[in-house]
Amino acid sequence: MKIALSLALATLFFVGCGDSNSHKAQEHTETQKEASSTTTLAHDVVKAAMNHDSVKQIKESVEKKVQEVTQQATQKAQEALTKTTEAATSAVAAATTATEAATTKAAATKTGTQLFVACAGCHGQNAEKKALGKSQVIKGWDAAKIETALKGYKDGSYGGSMKAVMKGQAAKLSDAEIKELAEHISKL
């Protein structure tokens, strides 16, 4: 703005010093055009500078907001991940427990019949024989009596002539298998 005024004053000064009025008028018009052009250019520069500052402020504001939103989204995502991980861990634990229970139950369901296969060779398919012609017939025994006998064979506190053979057989059985086998034999 100061440049434009300085140019205008210089133009007026030079115009007053000239020889002819038409020449002076022409120079005055050209000087005014230059002054007007310079003023417009100065205004454009000022606007650009203001726009640059505004753009810079807007950019900084947007960047700050992006950082805030990113931090919030990251925090929410982390919370969701933590909750999902906890839920998945809980579901896996529950599924594992259920699977183990089902496996144990399935194994117990099959165990009585499967375990008796080893016994049938000596005791007969329906527990109707004396094992190797020396033992008692176990068909008709109740489950408690069979369980007591098998546990006694296992710990060595029960048995007669077949004690050594039966100790080896009973030693392979868990308490749950002994119970399942006793239940199976009692139903033959």
Q: Flag whether pLDDT at 44 surpasses 90.
A: no
Q: Among residues of the chain, what percentage have pLDDT more than 70? A: 68
112 close to 181: Cβ distance less than 8 angstroms: yes
Range with the lowest mean pLDDT among 7-11, 54-58, 102-106?
Answer: 7-11
pLDDT of 4-14, one tens digit each? 555 555 555 55
| Cα separation of the two ends of the chain | 117
Q: Cα separation of 139 and 163, whole Å? A: 19
Give Cα 86 to chain centroid, integer Å.
8
Range with the lowest mean pLDDT among 10-24, 69-83, 115-129?
Answer: 10-24
Q: Which residue, among 156, 182, 183, 177, has the nearest Cα to 168 in the 3D structure?
A: 156
Q: Cα separation of 51 and 72, whole Å? A: 31
Q: Which residue, among 62, 64, 43, 42, has the nearest Cα to 54 in the 3D structure?
A: 62
Q: Cα separation of 55 and 159, whole Å? A: 99
Range with the lowest mean pLDDT among 13-22, 60-69, 160-169?
Answer: 13-22
119 close to 149: Cβ distance less than 8 angstroms: no
Helix, strand and coil in the chain, % to nearest 5: 80, 0, 20
Q: Which helix H or strand E contains 83, and what residues bound it?
A: helix 21-123
Neighbours of 83 (CB within 10 A): 10
Q: Flag whether pLDDT at 125 surpasses 90.
A: yes
Widest CA span in the chain: 156
pLDDT average, residue stretch 15-21: 50
Q: Tell me what pLDDT residue 18 has.
A: 47
Q: Flag whether pLDDT at 17 surpasses 60.
A: no
State the amino acid at position 175 in one-letter form. D
Q: Cα separation of 134 and 181, whole Å? A: 21
Give Cα 188 to chain centroid, integer Å.
52
State the amino acid at position 27 in one-letter form. E
Q: Tell me what pLDDT residue 61 has.
A: 74
